[in-house]
Structure 1
Amino acid sequence: MLDEQLTNEALGVLFDAAAPASAVRPWRLDVNGHLIDVYLDGSHALPAHDRAARALLIASGAAVFDLRCAAASLSFDSWVSLCPYRHEPDLLARMVVEPTGLPDQELRSLYAAIRSRHLTRPPAAPTEAVRFALTRAAELENTALSWLPGPFAPLAVLTTDRDEPADQVAAGMALERVLLTAVTYGVATSYLHHLPRTDLS
């Protein structure tokens, strides 16, 4: 079954979900059966501003997370391996989707938030319940969210244990999960990218 090609309808849902992750799309998707490879598209590199391509990998990681949400919306389960081959540094993620009928329900619920992520919302300080939900969202992607006081609103700093390419892609996945979770709580967010960390305010 897994060697059968995904339908055009399913591919449309998956590709449309990944598109809003970044204004610049530094990735390309290769599909073979139920295997989706996410490659870094070097034509979008900005070496003068991001020599380590960290921002590009984070944006690509966000797209990978959106693909997972879209797969869940189609009742697919999904498994992701980050930077699986050292000899293929441009292969950022390999995702397998399987129509098990047992999708991750939380990913499925976050799929609806993808389209509304950029809607304008009134600023408001996050409640303790919201902070807990956002911190948990980061932890589900094996990252950490630390809260700091800010001049107008609290700052949440997203960190990974290491700073390898796989960690940067993972940071993008976690960042997207945090942002989409914030949408479900009606919380306005913006994020700042500073080397070597990503800040979410």
Structure 2
Amino acid sequence: MTELVGEAVAAPSMHNAQPWRFRYSRGNRTFRLYADPERVMPHSDPDGRALHIGCGAALFNLRVALATAGFQSDVALLPASQDTALLALVHTAPSDDGEDIGLRLLGSAIHQRHTSRYPFAEKAIPENARTALVDAAHREGAVLSFPESWQSRWVEELVEEAEARNLTDQGSEQDLAQWTRIGAGEADTATDGVPEYAFGPRKHGGRAPMRDFSGGKPVADRGTTPFEDEPHLAVLSTDGDEPLHWLRAGQAMQRVLLLATLKGLATSFSTQALEWPDLRWPLRDPLTGTGQVQMILRIGYGPQGPATPRRPVSDVLVLED
């Protein structure tokens, strides 16, 4: 069970805050997933939306790990409880081959997937790959769409506006400072946050909407490089905007990311506009005006990014009789 949680916590989370805790009860073979309120970002994520998405991604990894190990899982999201931090119950049992076979196929991608903040090639994503990613999101109760060129440019502009705000907003600066690890000593020993070696190069040209994790501060040996002029962006939406939808979005996001990894695609996030309510609202489908945008993904052919640190499983898992 320790190994299974080790797979779960390989999931991405905002600024790699890893806002999750697990308990496993041997008696009833049940995992409990909790939010870790000490890892919320008060300025960038005051409602805990990104926290829930990160926990949903970890939950999906746990489902994949269980399926790969020969277990089936019965998941209850937001079970009735006096503990508001309890997000999910996962009952496990030996597999009866009724489990989603697709989960087992994704197992090898858990530790291959890393956020890539590097330039991607100016190469189209095949239509069959796009269709498969759209279907992956749909299986988890979310909608993944690839905006047309004009809509994609609109998304880029909103992200760029948000990035400019973040660089001058004191609250966003505080969140970033708390969760970035600058300096070789801090970066090499960190167990959470984004270390400087994972920032990627500074963008010099191109339209890829990238976050500057340095916050404008100088970082040694970072360098600059051109990024792609036609980035491939995908927008993940749900039909509601409550904690239940956020958990579903996190699972859908992770299913998309793992499948993209298996298909040789690199991925990163462009979430800055989601941190500003007045910018998040216009991200909705421009034709129907429906859907709540939960995540913006950048997908393409390029290098996988470096692995970022993870807290020891002993810090996030409690085993009970």
**Residue-by-residue CA offset, 1:39-76 (whole Å, 9 max, x unaligned):** 00111111122110111110000000000000011110
Q: Which moved more, 1:84-93 or 1:33-42?
A: 84-93
Could you say which residue in structure 2 is the equivalent of 1:88?
83
Offset at residue 101 of structure 1 (A): 4.5
Task: Report which of the two structures shows the higher radius of gyration computed on alpha carbons.
Answer: 2
Higher relative contact order (CA 8 A, sep 6+): 2
Q: Does 1:32 align with 2:25?
A: yes
Which of the numbers 140, 163, 170 marks the counterpart of 2:241? 163
Kept after mapping to 2: 8 A contact 1:125/1:153: no
Unaligned runs of 5+ in 2: 153-206, 208-229, 281-292, 299-321
Could you say which residue in structure 2 is the equivalent of 1:3?
none
How far apart in 2 are the matches of 1:40 and 1:93? 10
Could you say which residue in structure 2 is the equivalent of 1:109?
105
Pairing 1:11-160 to 2, within 5 Å after superposition: 11-22=1-12, 23-33=16-26, 34-85=29-80, 87-102=82-97, 103-118=99-114, 123=121, 124-148=123-147, 149=149, 150=152, 151=207, 152-160=230-238
Which of the numbers 296, 307, 311 marks the counterpart of 1:199? 296
Q: Which moved more, 1:116-125 or 1:148-157?
A: 116-125
Which of the numbers 236, 251, 256 marks the counterpart of 1:173? 251
- 4+ long deviations beyond 6 Å: none
Kept after mapping to 2: 8 A contact 1:61/1:168: yes
Offset at residue 134 of structure 1 (A): 0.3
Kept after mapping to 1: 8 A contact 2:115/2:267: no
Identity of aligned residues (%): 37
Kept after mapping to 2: 8 A contact 1:61/1:169: yes
How far apart in 2 are the matches of 1:170 and 1:140? 10
**How many pairs are equivalent?**
191
**Residue-by-residue CA offset, 1:160-179 (whole Å, 9 max, x unaligned):** 11011011011111000000
TM-score normalised to structure 1 length: 0.88
Offset at residue 119 of structure 1 (A): 7.7
Q: What amino acid sits opposite 1:52 in the alignment? A: D
Offset at residue 87 of structure 1 (A): 3.8
Kept after mapping to 2: 8 A contact 1:61/1:171: yes
Kept after mapping to 1: 8 A contact 2:77/2:89: yes
How far apart in 2 are the matches of 1:159 and 1:87? 29
Offset at residue 125 of structure 1 (A): 2.6
How far apart in 2 are the matches of 1:24 and 1:59? 9
Kept after mapping to 1: 8 A contact 2:65/2:107: yes
RMSD over equivalenced CA pairs, Å:
1.8
How far apart in 2 are the matches of 1:117 and 1:171? 18
Offset at residue 86 of structure 1 (A): 6.0
**Residue-by-residue CA offset, 1:110-165 (whole Å, 9 max, x unaligned):** 01101101186953431101100100000000100111134522221100110110
Kept after mapping to 2: 8 A contact 1:30/1:38: yes
Q: What amino acid sits opposite 1:28 in the alignment? A: R
